[in-house]
Amino acid sequence: MNAPIRTAVVGFGVAGRWFHAAFLATDPAYRLDAIVSSDAERAAAAHAEHPGASVFADLDELWRRADDLDLVVVAAPSHRHRALAERALDHGLHVVVDKPLVADPADGEALIARAHEHGRVLTVFHNRRWDGDFLTVQELIDGGRLGEVRRFESRFEWWQPEAPEGWKSQTAAADGGGILFDLGPHVIDQALRLFGPARCAHAELATRRAGAAADDDAFVALEHDSGVISHLWMSAVASAPGPRFRAVGSDATFTSWGLDGQEAALLAGARPGDPGFGETPPERWGTLTRGDRSEPVPMRSGGYGAFYARLAEAIRGAAPPVDPRDAVAGLRIIAAARRRATQRPGTRHHNPERDDATPHGTAHRNTDSNTEEVGERHA
């Protein structure tokens, strides 16, 4: 029961390299035994950064060694998630799937049933549950410092006016492409965690950049059963991003700016456990406002490593760090948002009806299931 969890990571792009392998390598509960990447440059990086792991160019070699593993982390392009997760489960392995779990909620339900059938843990890497700013919002709400929350605003925006090369920009929404599938699982999951079940009341999707195969600018409005209204923005073309969080309550409003710093730190070479990792400097703390009075609110420390700490407990019998049914709930909202998407004049629109008809496995520039573009953002 105390032996390290023997782990393989499929894909060594942004997700596999910085968000999975980096945390697995620093958690003594795990042993990183294998990495799959057919890209020679990434394979070389995997060898250099994790010399104790075997690096395979194809999945067949991984499956031949499945008996020597306990866990597979699926960090490949989204359209490959279901097939890879199914194969791992059929080999008797526990599975982590990077977000989005799948594009179709029905596929998500099928994976959950398959995991139950095999008696294995299936979970989804909704790491943004451990953003320091989100943990701060959660603490303020749970502590009653805002009073009755009436409106919640969440923005995940950046400025990248030209669509980059890579599978995320070239994948149709029917296969998990577009910013609603890239960032939507995070911002929707956070809203549901804070305020409970919701329905999609309104949505706007647009493709602003030439060459992008799916939406890169999105807005979704949720009506929660609790009465809270959530307004959620996701954009790659926001030249001046708005507040990251704005939670308006009957007693006070909390506002914060800028993204949690863990991603930027990882991409800059920091590692989990380094001094200051996950901490937010005072100049970037949020504010609590009551009329004309404002006070700074120290940010909680973020810690994506908590996901893998809880997963180790789940493999040994506890609840998973993210219930896959939560991921499916978010996918249902994404599906509803795509149906409800409002056409707005003067923009190049994403057509949900057309995308729904796109056959799976088509319209991809990069069909290598073992790679993820390093230049692409991973939320």
**Within this chain, do residues 150 and 273 fall inside the same structural domain, yes or no?**
yes
Cβ contact 315:326 at 8 Å: no
What's the full length of the chain, in residues? 379
**Within this chain, do residues 139 and 57 fall inside the same structural domain, yes or no?**
no
**Which residues, including other chains, have CB under 8 Å from residue 345's CB and lie 6 or more apart?**
none
**Within this chain, do residues 122 and 162 fall inside the same structural domain, yes or no?**
no
3-class DSSP state of 59:
helix
pLDDT digits (tens, 9 = 90+) for 301-313: 999 999 999 999 9
**Within this chain, do residues 61 and 97 fall inside the same structural domain, yes or no?**
yes
pLDDT digits (tens, 9 = 90+) for 314-323: 999 999 999 9
Nearest Cα residue to 2 out of 29, 24, 23? 29
pLDDT digits (tens, 9 = 90+) for 152-169: 999 999 999 998 877 777
Does the residue 368 lie in any domain? no
Half-sphere exposure of 131 (CA within 13 A, CB side): 23
* Stretch (H or E) spanning 140: helix 132-142
CA end-to-end span of the chain: 33
Does the residue 374 lie in any domain? no
Q: Which residue has the tokens 């982390």?
A: 73
pLDDT of residue 170: 81
**Which residues, including other chains, have CB under 8 Å from residue 192's CB and lie 6 or more apart?**
198, 326, 329, 330
Does the residue 272 lie in any domain? yes
Does the residue 361 lie in any domain? no
**Within this chain, do residues 79 and 178 fall inside the same structural domain, yes or no?**
no
Range of the domain at 72: 5-127+309-318
CATH of the domain at 141: 3.30.360.10
As given in the structure block, the two tokens for residue 135 are 């943990």
3-class DSSP state of 15:
helix
**Within this chain, do residues 136 and 122 fall inside the same structural domain, yes or no?**
no
Does the residue 61 lie in any domain? yes
**Within this chain, do residues 55 and 91 fall inside the same structural domain, yes or no?**
yes
pLDDT digits (tens, 9 = 90+) for 10-61: 999 999 999 999 999 999 999 999 999 999 999 999 999 999 999 999 999 9
pLDDT of residue 379: 37
Does the residue 107 lie in any domain? yes
**Within this chain, do residues 28 and 111 fall inside the same structural domain, yes or no?**
yes
**Within this chain, do residues 91 and 140 fall inside the same structural domain, yes or no?**
no
pTM of the model: 0.89
